[in-house]
Amino acid sequence: MRNSLKWSGLVVLVALTLSVLLAAQQQTTPTPPPQQPSEIQLVISGEPGTPPRYAVPDFVALSPDVADVAKLLGQVLWDDLNFEREFYMIPRDTYSTIPVARTGDDIPFAAWRELGADAVVFGTVQKTDPNTVRVQVRLFNVRSRQSVFAKEYTGSAANPRLYAHTMSDEIHQQQRALRGVARTKLTFSSDRNRERVAGPVQNRDVKEVYIADYDGENVRRVTTNRQLNITPTWAPDARGIAYTSYRRGYPDIFIALIYQGLQETPTNGVGQNWLPMFSPDGTRICFTSNRDGNPELYVMNRDGSNVRRVTNNPAIDTTPTWSPNGAQIAFTSDRAGTPQIYIVGADGLNLRRITTNESWADRPTWSPAPFNEIAYAGRTGPGFDIKVYDLASGETRQITFGEGSNESPAYSPNGRHIAFSSTRSRGTQVYTMARDGKNVKQITRDGNNATPSWSN
């Protein structure tokens, strides 16, 4: 009994001692404040209600043979960041009063702050061998003087613009959770080689398929058959381009595998076929064909198998475009007397007309998510303008206004921009603009260029 009491007393004493120690620890060790997610600290903000103000000076050349590249990187990165209109880009011609930093440690933050910058880019470039460059970039918060983004790129010196495009896309992703388009490409048809078609299609200009960066740089020719090659469209993986070619004397569909140098002919020469459009998952192609006597829409697997007819009407059904989920197809038909825009299920059911106030409507293109709209060319007087139909509200807005004839709209992969062809300057050229019709930029200048398509 005595031992039991002694043990009980010991337990009480230990409990009291622990409680005293715990209380003392709570008094001397304050509870740390909850940690904020690191991504919040990395995002640079502007003044309340305004976008952050970015400065992008020339990169620093760490070897004497890359001075031009250093300047190019700064300019291209500035242009790429400016394109999405997420930041206020401080004009580069205002930087002359700012001392040039040679390293990230001697950036004159006070001077940049005085200029109004919230963020400043510091970058370097050097050649590591005759064919290789190393590019380093850091994005600084001018207020905190902290680096919030840092990357190094090493690779070929042949295309330094690609490094700037990559930086822009990665900065947009980190700072705005936005998928940028700086690394995307455009494809289009052009007669810039100024040759004449020989053979059964006489007295027409040769048109070949070309690709270029989203800003019109680095133009490359895809087809070389000296025939009519038109209406190119990108595969979703951006590794192939389907297009219409008259190389056999009649229109048929070809697929150029641009990184393999190969051609595919999925229609196998059955009928006349034109205006191919890949499904969003790349497994199917919708196209127009007269194989049954009248131009109708068909869907086939990418390899040409499992061909099935989607429309069945005495009128002409053409220019298909897929909905983002691949369940519907918008197209042009003159079944009402003039070309108008219709939507039908990919199974051929649930047909409906969406343009009810147009005298003529053509070339629909369905926006990617999250936007739920279809852009098309509507006749306005002697020419056409780009209009956008909102599928949720049923309302239409016009975004070009009579500067030339504006046709063949094509959405960027993030849905924020539209490429189109226009006669507003010499000949027909490809332009881009924001989906609200602002920020119009001319992309092509050589020859006549039309029917653009924007890669993923």
Q: Is the pTM of this model over 0.75?
A: yes
Q: What is the DSSP letter of 388?
A: E
- The dihedral region occupied by 99, where left means phi > 0, alpha psi between -120 and 50, and beta the remainder, is beta
- Residue 144's Cβ-count burial label (10 Å; 0-12, 13-18, 19+) is exposed
In sequence order, what are the beta bridge partners of 185? 213
Distance of alpha carbon 200 from alpha carbon 279, whole angstroms: 32
The confidence score (pLDDT) of residue 64 equals 87
From first to last of its 456 residues, the chain has per-residue pLDDT tens of: 334 333 333 333 333 333 433 343 344 334 444 444 444 469 999 999 999 999 999 999 999 899 999 999 999 999 999 999 999 999 999 999 999 999 999 999 999 999 999 999 999 999 999 999 999 999 999 999 999 999 999 999 999 999 999 999 999 999 999 999 999 999 999 999 888 776 655 567 899 999 999 999 999 999 999 999 999 999 999 999 999 999 999 999 999 999 999 999 999 989 999 999 999 999 999 999 999 999 999 999 999 999 999 999 999 999 999 999 999 999 999 999 999 999 999 999 999 999 999 999 999 999 999 999 999 999 999 999 999 999 999 999 999 999 999 999 999 999 999 999 999 998 999 999 999 999 999 999 999 999 999 999
Give the C-alpha separation, 316 to 61, whole Å.
59
> How far is the C-alpha of 373 from the C-alpha of 355, rounded, in Å?
13
Half-sphere exposure of 337 toward its Cβ, with a 13 Å CA cutoff?
A: 3
Q: What is the pLDDT of residue 24?
A: 38
Distance CA 321, CA 325 (A): 12
pLDDT given at position 443: 98
Q: Which domains does the chain have, with CATH numbers?
A: 46-176 (3.40.50.10070), 185-454 (2.120.10.30)
Judged on CB neighbours under 10 Å (0-12, 13-18, 19+), 270 is exposed
| Contacts of 20 by beta carbon, 8 Å cutoff, 6+ apart | none
83 exposure class (CB count in 10 Å sphere: 0-12, 13-18, 19+): buried
